[in-house]
Amino acid sequence: MVIQRENTENQWKQKFEMVKQDLDKLKAELKQDRENLDRLNEMMKKEKVDVEMMRLDLQKQTDLLEQVKQNIQEEKEKMEITKTEFQKKKENLQSLFDEINKERSNIKDLSLQVETERDKLQNVMNSVALKQEEQERKEDDIRRQTQELDNSKRSVLAERHELELLRKNLNVKKEELEVATSSFSGEREQMSKMKIA
């Protein structure tokens, strides 16, 4: 009977040790799981910070693209204003050119009349001489106006060259915007994939 009781006690001790070992093992596993969870939590926090930094970077790029877009729009408006001013100057020059041609025609007619009057009216030679001087002054004015017209034409050509440079600059900025937009789209798609993952 005593031996049986000792055997029973030994069995209970063995079972207790086994349960204790199982508990210790489970406690170690729980500790390991907690450490793993802590590491995972730290990784998630770091990833959240990284994602926030990427979002801020994308926002900066978006703001930059908006600024570029606004600059292009302002440049386009300036070019439209320049184009309008150029057209006005061109119209003014054409009007001036027409007036000069008309004045030249009038002067030719006047010259013919003067020559005719000179042949017919010898007694008004002094008057004819005065008219001749007036004609010379008008011709001087015509030469001066012609010089001014030439200067204006050169100015128009210079402005046209400047307009061409502005157009080329706009094309360069447009290409830069397209490259930046393509890059932004790629980064945004990559972020979307990262979020889905």
The CA distance from 185 to 130, in Å, is: 81
In the block, tokens 């789209």 appear at 185
Total count of domains within the chain: 1
Each residue's pLDDT tens digit, 85-94: 888 988 888 8
Instruction: Give the predicted TM-score (pTM) of the model.
Output: 0.31
CA proximity to 148, closest of 140, 190, 182, 21? 140
The CA distance from 149 to 155, in Å, is: 10
In the block, tokens 């005719």 appear at 116
pLDDT of res. 191: 67
Contact 177, 68 (CB under 8 A): yes
The CA distance from 65 to 99, in Å, is: 51
Mean pLDDT, the chain, as a whole number? 81
- In the chain, DSSP finds a helix count (H) and a strand count (E) of 2, 0
Query: Where does the pLDDT of residue 196 fall: very low under 50, low under 70, confident under 90, or very high at 90 and above?
Result: low
Range of the domain at 86: 2-196
Each residue's pLDDT tens digit, 19-64: 778 787 888 888 887 888 888 888 888 888 888 888 888 888 888 8
